[in-house]
Structure 1
Amino acid sequence: MSGVAPLPSNVRLLHIGPHKSGTTAVQGAFHLARERLAGHGITYIGKGLHPVRPVQAITGRGPMLGEPAASTRDWDNLVAEVAATGDQRAVISSEFFAEADDAVARRVVSDLGDQVHVVVTLRPLGKVLAAQWQQYVQNGLRDSFEEWLDIMFNRPHERPNSTFWRRHQQGEIVTRWANAVGPENLTVICVDDSDPRMLMRTFEGLLDLPEKFLVPDDSTANRSLTHAEAELVRGFNQQFKAGSWPTGLYASHIRRGAVKRMKVAYKPTQHDRAIRTPEWALERAAKLGSEGAETITALGVHVIGDLELLSEYPSGRAGTPDPDVALAPQAAAEAVMGVVAASAKEAKAKAKPGKSAHDRTLREVTARELARELFARGLRKARRARKRVLKSQKSASS
């Protein structure tokens, strides 16, 4: 058993993330277990992995590049779904809740009704930096990792991603939500990466579920991009911006096309480069983690795990990022095929009523240009990789 005391039978368990704290694994497990959860009197709210649009609506967060904007009706529908669970348990999970300000946090707690219990999952910030950068790259960011780190830590007024510190000032997040729901109704889980089942076991305990009830859904694995893959996408983002292509193409052909296929179809090998984080940034992150742990301790909220983990310095991730790192040819090929597949899918779709032939032709042309550009970038990366290998072999033999 987990040793965690279960929450009341009519609880509204609100898991707010933040990002890169095991959220995808948790959400995939709950989504996969929907029918079995119902047998235990638990409803996992929403239709997909997590209710993105409703949370975007209540927090005021804009949509991802190329996606449609959310409306207040999306949030109203989620609130109604929670209310319909009556005196049974409901689970709502989305890392985008972490972007709420004080007023929104209070509004969320009020709208969800009585018996709201907030769960915050936290990992050392040093383990989050690279993962968050490549995630922003997947949404159009054009800054290199070192440029982004410099802005995040040293020039906050120039932040290209204003949501980052709202998500990851750990002490402030817990304080904000503890003020909204009450310290006695908030649990912090310090994720221990050395214990793979810790998260699942803890949620099982909170919801009074049998041991090993929650099983990660491997099909929803949200692996991070390697440094070479991220650089491929970042370079393309620069071309995309310069080309003034329709933003809808980015969502359909890049994020859900090239990037998704590359992440699913290509499995990085031990030779693929992980994203290394400069030591100075890891030191700053460890200091912030220590300060956050002190703040959380003083709040008197429930803590599961060791808060000292938040000040961890992950030395195995330290290093100087190489923006010209070689890309595996297979990864580039999968990215190109992702764009091709997206273009083929769009070509087969029926034209919407009222859409002119000129509009359809323009979109098809820009999609073809998109595919050609991505193919060209992948080819150049692959050629550079081959030259590096040949140069290395020549040096070794001389």
Structure 2
Amino acid sequence: METDCTRDTPAPLPAGTRLLHIGPHKTGTTAVQGALFAAKDRLPEYGVAFPAHSRHPMEAALAACARPAMMGDTRPTDRHWTRLLAQVRATGTQTSVISSEFFADAPDDGTITRIVEQLGGDRAHVLVTLRPLAKIMPSQWQQYVQNGLRMGYEDWLEHMLRKPPYEKPNPSFWQRHRHDRLVERWARVVGPGKVTVVVVDDRDRGGLMRTFEALLGLPGNLLQPVPDTANRSLTLAETEMLRNLNVEFRGNGLPDELYSRLVRNGAVLHMKNSCSPTPRDVNISTPRWAVEAAGEIGAETAQRIGALGVRIIGDPALLSAVPEQPPPASPEPRISPEAAAQALYGALAAAASAPPGAAPARTVHQTSSKELVRVLGHRCLKRLGRR
């Protein structure tokens, strides 16, 4: 094992490397992608390329791993992946970096082998960023809720940590976040010498950016965080509001496409962009038993990764850290009127911006989604008018 726990500046990767950052989710991926995309025009000065037309080539990664899109979104096709591959090939001998946490969803060795070969075989180097599992669990749960999950947090923790085979309701969770197995799968294909694991230290806010700069041979402070309110986590009250909406949505058989357009990309997106949490808002709190269980898994994970022979940057002991518990949340978290109003407006604005002549989606009442949205929007506006 090569460990850079005490080294301030890790050695850069060889020129011409195709660096594949696979996440997983909730380990600083969005911040890295935003910083790389913002610096895209300056990277070639230092022999580095970011070969993607957007901050996060999510569709390409989903297509490469043969994974479905988020609830109600259009399923990605091979066209997304082949276009990204063409952009990678166009970088020539430059070092290129491809980043998507959805590569962590690659289901088997065959899929990983194909991805690596298409990215250049021996030129590929895999980068895995890790954080303590106890810090990932609440963020990942609320993200699942944004994709339609109806299960409460404590019930979800029971299923993930106490009810084998630990696959319901979200089989992707341990595919992504049993981090030792994730690293082992990719190291088995590319070899331990072509895998770097970065243990993120949340106390060092700029540490992850500096690590990427060093690995890519970039000057210090070239990569800067880009504010992204749309990526913020939901508060407990916001998540519970959405979870209860999911119960009603599924219970009434409404179409997934409606959820994608009006809920996730309408109500939730607008609420996150318009309202920032205040000190009065309650964050999602993990019960002590689950935090301790996550710490035990983290300790085992760190030990197994250490035995794989991969390069480790950072302190693996952080993976088993048990964070201090905040004071208990109030039994009935309340969403602010402003957040509720912004969510409602976001849904209405998304409905109003739907292209004319869009194909209607069927509901349980055999009513088109366009008509359903029109009726619901009219009723909501009437109620607001009465108040």
Query: What TM-score do you get using the length of structure 2 for normalisation?
Result: 0.90
> Which residue in 1 is equivalent to 2:143?
135
In structure 2, do the counterparts of structure 1 residues 217 and 280 end up closer, same or farther at CA, with 3 Å as the change threshold? same
Cα distance in 2 for partners of 1:370, 1:2 equals 57
Out of 29, 35, 45, the position equivalent to 1:29 is: 35
Does residue 325 of the first structure (1) align with residue 333 of the second (2)? yes
Cα distance in 2 for partners of 1:42, 1:341 equals 40
In structure 2, do the counterparts of structure 1 residues 207 and 194 end up closer, same or farther at CA, with 3 Å as the change threshold? same
Q: What amino acid sits opposite 2:70 in the alignment? A: M
> Which residue in 1 is equivalent to 2:114?
107
The 8 Å contact of residues 23 and 129 in structure 2, kept in 1 or not, is answered as yes
The 8 Å contact of residues 65 and 247 in structure 1, kept in 2 or not, is answered as yes
Q: Which runs of 5+ in 1 are unaligned?
A: 379-398
Cα distance in 1 for partners of 2:327, 2:179 equals 22
The 8 Å contact of residues 278 and 319 in structure 1, kept in 2 or not, is answered as no
Paired positions, count: 372
In structure 2, do the counterparts of structure 1 residues 289 and 63 end up closer, same or farther at CA, with 3 Å as the change threshold? same
Q: What amino acid sits opposite 1:110 in the alignment? A: E
Q: What amino acid sits opposite 1:55 in the alignment? A: A
Q: Tell me, what secondary structure is at the counterpart of 2:368?
A: helix
Once the two structures are superposed, the pairs formed by residues 186-265 of structure 1 within 5 Å of their partners are: 186-219=195-228, 222-265=231-274
In structure 2, do the counterparts of structure 1 residues 46 and 374 end up closer, same or farther at CA, with 3 Å as the change threshold? farther
Once the two structures are superposed, the pairs formed by residues 281-360 of structure 1 within 5 Å of their partners are: 281-317=290-326, 319=328, 322=331, 324-346=332-354, 349-351=355-357
Q: What amino acid sits opposite 1:325 in the alignment? A: P
The 8 Å contact of residues 288 and 325 in structure 2, kept in 1 or not, is answered as no
The 8 Å contact of residues 245 and 366 in structure 1, kept in 2 or not, is answered as no
In structure 2, do the counterparts of structure 1 residues 96 and 317 end up closer, same or farther at CA, with 3 Å as the change threshold? farther
Give 1:258 shift. Answer: 0.6
Q: What amino acid sits opposite 1:102 in the alignment? A: D
Q: What amino acid sits opposite 1:58 in the alignment? A: A
In structure 2, do the counterparts of structure 1 residues 95 and 80 end up closer, same or farther at CA, with 3 Å as the change threshold? same
The 8 Å contact of residues 229 and 273 in structure 2, kept in 1 or not, is answered as no
The 8 Å contact of residues 28 and 220 in structure 1, kept in 2 or not, is answered as no
Out of 121, 146, 164, the position equivalent to 2:173 is: 164
The 8 Å contact of residues 199 and 318 in structure 2, kept in 1 or not, is answered as yes
Give 1:371 shift. Answer: 5.1
Cα distance in 1 for partners of 2:285, 2:330 equals 5
Cα distance in 2 for partners of 1:369, 1:164 equals 38
Give 1:4 shift. Answer: 1.6
> Which residue in 2 is equivalent to 1:47?
53
Give 1:43 shift. Answer: 1.9
> Which residue in 2 is equivalent to 1:11?
17
In structure 2, do the counterparts of structure 1 residues 236 and 374 end up closer, same or farther at CA, with 3 Å as the change threshold? farther
Cα distance in 2 for partners of 1:7, 1:277 equals 38
Does residue 145 of the first structure (1) align with residue 182 of the second (2)? no
The 8 Å contact of residues 196 and 310 in structure 2, kept in 1 or not, is answered as yes
Give 1:129 shift. Answer: 0.5
Once the two structures are superposed, the pairs formed by residues 45-124 of structure 1 within 5 Å of their partners are: 45-100=51-106, 101-113=108-120, 114-124=122-132
Q: Which runs of 5+ in 2 are unaligned?
A: 1-6
In structure 2, do the counterparts of structure 1 residues 191 and 89 end up closer, same or farther at CA, with 3 Å as the change threshold? same
Q: Tell me, what secondary structure is at the counterpart of 2:46?
A: coil
In structure 2, do the counterparts of structure 1 residues 41 and 374 end up closer, same or farther at CA, with 3 Å as the change threshold? farther
The 8 Å contact of residues 19 and 95 in structure 2, kept in 1 or not, is answered as yes
Q: What amino acid sits opposite 1:147 in the alignment? A: D
Give 1:316 shift. Answer: 2.9
The 8 Å contact of residues 24 and 221 in structure 1, kept in 2 or not, is answered as no
Q: What amino acid sits opposite 1:68 in the alignment? A: T
Q: Tell me, what secondary structure is at the counterpart of 1:165?
A: helix
Cα distance in 1 for partners of 2:160, 2:169 equals 8
Q: Tell me, what secondary structure is at the counterpart of 1:35?
A: coil
Give 1:45 shift. Answer: 2.5
Deviations 1:190-248 (CA, angstroms, capped at 9, x unpaired): 00000000000000001111100001111465110000000011010111111222211
Q: Tell me, what secondary structure is at the counterpart of 1:9?
A: coil
Q: What amino acid sits opposite 1:138 in the alignment? A: Q
Name the one with the larger helix percent: 1
Give 1:155 shift. Answer: 1.9
Deviations 1:126-168 (CA, angstroms, capped at 9, x unpaired): 0000000000000000000011111111224451111000000
Cα distance in 2 for partners of 1:257, 1:152 equals 30
Cα distance in 1 for partners of 2:283, 2:134 equals 14
Give 1:374 shift. Answer: 8.6
In structure 2, do the counterparts of structure 1 residues 51 and 300 end up closer, same or farther at CA, with 3 Å as the change threshold? same
Cα distance in 2 for partners of 1:107, 1:57 equals 12
Cα distance in 2 for partners of 1:175, 1:42 equals 28
In structure 2, do the counterparts of structure 1 residues 76 and 318 end up closer, same or farther at CA, with 3 Å as the change threshold? farther
In structure 2, do the counterparts of structure 1 residues 345 and 2 end up closer, same or farther at CA, with 3 Å as the change threshold? farther
In structure 2, do the counterparts of structure 1 residues 220 and 213 end up closer, same or farther at CA, with 3 Å as the change threshold? farther
Q: Tell me, what secondary structure is at the counterpart of 1:151?
A: helix
In structure 2, do the counterparts of structure 1 residues 369 and 84 end up closer, same or farther at CA, with 3 Å as the change threshold? same
Cα distance in 1 for partners of 2:325, 2:256 equals 37
> Which residue in 2 is equivalent to 1:363?
369
Please tell me the root mean square deviation across aligned C-alpha atoms, in Å: 2.5
The 8 Å contact of residues 37 and 54 in structure 2, kept in 1 or not, is answered as yes
Out of 153, 169, 173, the position equivalent to 2:182 is: 173
